[in-house]
Amino acid sequence: MKLDTRVLRHLTAEDWRVLTAVELGSKNHENVPTPLIEKLSRLKGGASGVHKSISALAKAGLIARLKDAKYDGYRLTYGGLDYLALHTHASRKHVYSVGSRVGVGKESDIMIIADDNGTQKILKIHRLGRISFRTVKSNRDYLKNRAAGSWMYLSRLAAMKEFAFMQALREEGFPVPEPIAQSRHTIVMSLIDALPLRQISSVPDPASLYADLIGLILRLAQHGLIHGDFNEFNILIKEEKPASEQHSQQTPSSEKPEGKKQQDQDQAQDTVILTPIIIDFPQMVSMDHQNAEMYFDRDVNCIKSFFKKRFHFVSTVPGPFYKDAKKTVGKDGAKRLDASVEASGFTKKMAKELEAAIREQQAAAEEKGSGAGSDDDYDDDDDFDEDDEDDEAGESEQEEQNSTDCFQGFNLTGRWRDSGAPGSSNGDPR
């Protein structure tokens, strides 16, 4: 399922009411009866107005008929859920325009967006079930046990959990993107000018970067948390320059002797600071989890293995080990973030449901042959919405044609915008 906002600006207020009614009805019905849609939408035009909006929404792929349904009704598609989330973000001034997709994963899509001021941000759209459905979509018994509606619910849980943890981690000073807003299965967060660790071929000091990453694992543990997927796909590396060097660069080059110029150039190569940024938190678990040791060891071994293969670096220091990290939980005034997130509303029941779904995703990915890697670079654009599959091929060519390196796209009110290259905040959003 690809995010296509071209239809969004054409929807009327009545269309939004009907789409919202289908969403409300989906809480108790996989196939929402048409009479219930009419009742929940409460349009002044009555049934005729509802049917007009239903026709428009179905044509746009935002709702769809359920195959072999025993009564007349419609279900919400992922496209419809996308639009409802975007509509909420736009009403809250968090999203003004939508640009290119910059990442595709097994469980999420990553989009460049901009707010009213032209500031570029990231929109993460959770899509749990994409792999699981494609792996077993011929198994009708499976589909009875895990319908598309429940995957949407689980995608909401993933977004809720990730947003809650990002907020908690950010408040404690962890290097994570700034969480800005969450609606349904989507999160708006700050755009960070950094590269995934997997794209970096060499670093000046592998030992220092390794120590920083292991330090982050231990610091998370002290706050009662295990990332659960701490690897080269979910770690961004940001290059920063020391304050003294930035000050030196402000001095005009013409005022420096030739020897000083060369010295500054040599120092510039040696004084770049590599700052790791952690991303992707739906699989994060507590240090008290029944499988905590397995998750902790896996995170540590992922870093060890990557540094050995990529940078030919092997630490001479053994560990760290879960039993030692466990002793540090809550020490030195560290706040238990696992407890604070649960207190924020993400309950243990939600956590268990989401964890089971993530395990199912991982098993399906292994069955498909993609291994236990990350979301990034997952080159499969179809989701589990069978009714949309016939339309995907044409949309794929159109999207690739529209996707460019610059930030271009229709904003949510129908005006064209071009705000420059990704990472910049130039351009008039109006």
CA 231 – CA 355 distance, rounded (Å): 19
The residue that leads in pLDDT, 253 or 70, is 70
pLDDT digit string (tens) for 339-367? 999 877 887 888 888 888 888 777 777 77
pLDDT digit string (tens) for 311-346? 999 999 999 999 999 999 999 999 999 999 987 788
pLDDT at residue 240, rounded to an integer: 87
Q: Of the ranges 265-279, 307-321, 412-426, which is most confident?
A: 307-321
pLDDT at residue 394 tops 80: no
CA 107 – CA 185 distance, rounded (Å): 11
Structure tokens at 392: 């995907």
Question: CB count, 10 Å around CB of 214?
Answer: 20
Share of the chain above pLDDT 90, in %: 59
CA 199 – CA 214 distance, rounded (Å): 19
pLDDT band at residue 213, thresholds of 50, 70 and 90? Answer: very high
Please tell me whether the overall predicted TM-score, pTM, comes out greater than 0.95 for this model: no
pLDDT at residue 290 tops 60: yes
CA 410 – CA 235 distance, rounded (Å): 31
Express the helix, strand and coil content of the chain in percent, nearest 5 each.
Answer: 45, 15, 35
CB 209 within 8 A of CB 276: yes
Average of per-residue pLDDT values in the chain? 81
Average pLDDT on 39-44 reads: 94
pLDDT at residue 351, rounded to an integer: 84
pLDDT at residue 106, rounded to an integer: 77
pLDDT at residue 137 tops 70: no
Average pLDDT on 148-168 reads: 89
Residues recognised as catalytic: 229
SS3 at position 119: coil
pLDDT at residue 274, rounded to an integer: 96
Average pLDDT on 223-230 reads: 97
CB 298 within 8 A of CB 269: no
